[in-house]
C-alpha cells in the first residue's frame, strides 16, 4: 500500500535548530503514525525532512514550520492545486514544537481534504439533543494531552469511539477522555460542528464559550468553518455564550 509523502520544512527566519533535530521529530512521528494512528484510522505516511530552501516535490504534502505572527494559528489547508499542506507555528503550545507538528500531521492524514464529518449528538448543553455533523479533526478535542515517543512529545488524538454514545472506550489514545460525545470536551480543547438543519457552524472553544456562526458560502467545509467562525469572533454575531458559570 502506498502512503502520502509528508515533509517537515523549517521556514522560520532564524531556524528551529539543526536538521537532525527535525529528523528526530520525523522518526518519532513515523512511529506514532505506524504504531498508534494507523490501527484506528487506517491511514499512513512516509515522513521526511526537507531543507528550508529545497523545492517541494509535487507528490509531497508539506508541514511548514513558521514564525508566529499576530492572529496566526497552525492548521491544515489546501494549496492552489487542492493538495493538503499544513503550518505549525514555532513557539506555539508552550514551545512544544513537536506537539504542534504532530497535531497538524495527524489531522492532515485522517482528513486531508477537510471534508469529513462524524454524526453524533450535539454537545451544546442548550441544544435539544439532536444529532449534528462534527468536522473530523482528531487532535482538537484532546489537544491539551500529549505523550512521548523516544523523548519526543507528540499529540494525543481521539479514537472513532469518541463519536459513539454507546461505546465503552477508550475514546482517545492517552485514555484521558472519560466519555464520548455529547459530553463536553475538556477545558483547553475545542471541537467544531455543523447543524444539518440550518447549516450553521458551531464551536466549543478552549475557554468554555460556544460560538454560533452563519455558514460561509464557498470553499471546502474546513475553509467554510474557518471563515464563518472568524466572522463570528470578529463581530460577536450571532451568539457567543458560556455554558457554565
> Same domain for 105 and 158?
no
The CA-atom distances, in angstroms, between 231 and each of 197, 221, 243 are: 21, 15, 21
Query: Cα 231 to the chain's mean position, in Å?
Result: 20
The CA-atom distances, in angstroms, between 57 and each of 4, 18, 51, 83 are: 12, 22, 12, 12
> Same domain for 80 and 132?
no
> Same domain for 132 and 216?
yes
> Same domain for 104 and 10?
yes
DSSP 150-205: TTEEEE--B-GGGG-TT--S--BTTS---S-TTSPPPTT--EEEE-TTT--EEEE-
Question: Where residue 94 sits, what CATH number does that domain have?
Answer: 3.40.390.10
Q: Which residues, including other chains, have CB under 8 Å from residue 55's CB and lie 6 or more apart?
A: none
pLDDT tens per residue across all 245 residues of the chain: 689 999 999 999 888 877 778 999 999 999 999 999 999 999 999 999 998 888 999 999 999 999 987 666 789 999 888 899 999 998 755 458 999 999 999 999 999 999 999 999 999 988 888 999 999 999 999 999 999 999 999 999 999 999 999 999 999 999 999 999 988 789 999 999 999 988 899 999 998 888 888 876 667 899 888 888 887 665 443 444 444 32
How far apart are the C-alpha atoms of 37 and 174, rounded to whole Å? 12
Residue where a domain stops, chosen among 110, 139, 169: 110
> Same domain for 31 and 77?
yes
227: helix, coil or strand? helix
First to last CA, the chain: 51
Structural domain for 122, as ranges: 117-242
How far apart are the C-alpha atoms of 86 and 202, rounded to whole Å? 23
Residue where a domain stops, chosen among 66, 93, 110: 110
133: helix, coil or strand? strand
> Same domain for 138 and 53?
no
The number of domains in the chain is 2
The beta-carbon contacts of 173-178 under 8 Å, at least 24 apart in sequence, are 173/36, 173/40, 173/147, 174/142, 174/145, 174/146, 174/147, 176/142, 176/145, 177/141, 177/142
> Same domain for 101 and 133?
no
Residue where a domain stops, chosen among 53, 77, 110: 110
Amino acid at each position: 500500500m502506498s502512503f502520502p509523502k509528508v515533509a517537515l520544512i523549517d521556514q522560520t527566519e532564524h531556524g528551529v535548530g539543526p536538521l537532525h533535530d527535525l529528523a528526530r521529530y520525523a522518526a518519532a512521528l513515523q512511529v506514532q503514525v505506524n504504531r498508534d494512528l494507523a490501527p484506528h484510522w487506517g491511514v499512513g505516511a512516509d515522513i521526511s525532512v526537507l531543507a528550508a530552501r529545497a523545492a517541494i516535490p509535487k507528490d509531497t504534502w508539506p508541514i511548514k514550520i513558521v514564525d508566529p505572527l499576530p492572529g496566526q494559528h497552525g492548521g491544515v489547508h489546501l494549496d492552489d492545486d487542492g493538495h493538503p499542506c499544513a503550518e505549525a507555528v514555532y513557539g506555539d503550545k508552550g514551545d512544544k514544537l513537536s506537539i504542534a507538528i504532530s497535531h497538524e500531521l495527524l489531522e492532515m492524514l485522517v482528513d486531508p481534504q477537510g471534508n469529513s464529518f462524524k454524526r453524533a449528538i450535539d454537545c451544546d448543553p442548550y441544544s435539544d439533543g439532536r444529532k449534528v455533523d462534527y468536522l473530523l479533526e482528531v487532535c482538537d478535542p484532546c489537544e491539551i494531552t500529549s505523550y512521548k515517543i523516544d523523548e519526543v512529545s507528540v499529540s494525543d488524538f481521539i479514537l472513532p469511539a469518541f463519536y459513539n454514545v454507546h461505546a465503552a472506550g477508550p475514546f482517545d489514545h492517552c485514555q484521558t477522555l472519560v466519555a464520548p460525545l455529547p459530553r463536553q470536551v475538556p477545558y483547553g480543547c475545542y471541537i467544531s460542528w455543523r447543524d444539518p438543519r440550518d447549516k450553521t457552524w458551531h464551536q466549543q472553544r478552549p475557554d468554555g464559550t460556544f460560538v454560533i456562526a452563519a455558514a460561509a458560502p464557498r470553499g471546502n467545509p474546513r475553509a467554510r468553518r474557518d471563515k464563518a467562525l472568524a466572522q463570528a469572533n470578529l463581530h460577536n454575531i450571532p451568539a457567543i455564550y458560556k455554558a457554565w458559570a
